Amino acid sequence: LGTTVLAVGEALINCRNIMRVSPRQMPPELFQGLVDSASNAFNLRELAHVPWIPKWHLFIHLAHRARQTGNPALQATFLDESYNGRLAAIAASAHRMTWHRRVLSSFRYAFSAGQNKRAR
């Protein structure tokens, strides 16, 4: 089991390294390396007892679509995606009776206090 988990990790690290060095339009050899490493990690996942979650499905699609869409590491995310973590922390600390007021007021305070600083 340990060697299989290690193999999954090495395949995922290889994917990350390929995406780091690849330009937006991936050359065929880097694209093939990404697909092979992603497929290897995916196929070994079950043997390593790594649970199936939808993100594995998404990861395989990202690797296989890299030829058309480009390097997955260079694809944009939503500008406000970083708010999800802060919102989850606020919601987790709120009591269910006052949850809606706590979440809205805390989130509104965070924005008005200037804690919403993003790199520009």
For the stretch 42-53, pLDDT in tens is: 999 989 998 888
91-113 b/e with 16+ CB inside 10 Å = b? eeebeeeeeeebeeebbeeeeee
pTM: 0.62
Residue 84 confidence class, pLDDT cut points 50, 70, 90: confident
Cβ–Cβ < 8 Å for 69, 81: no
Tabulate helix, strand, coil % of the chain (nearest 5). Answer: 65, 0, 35
Average pLDDT over residues 65-79: 83
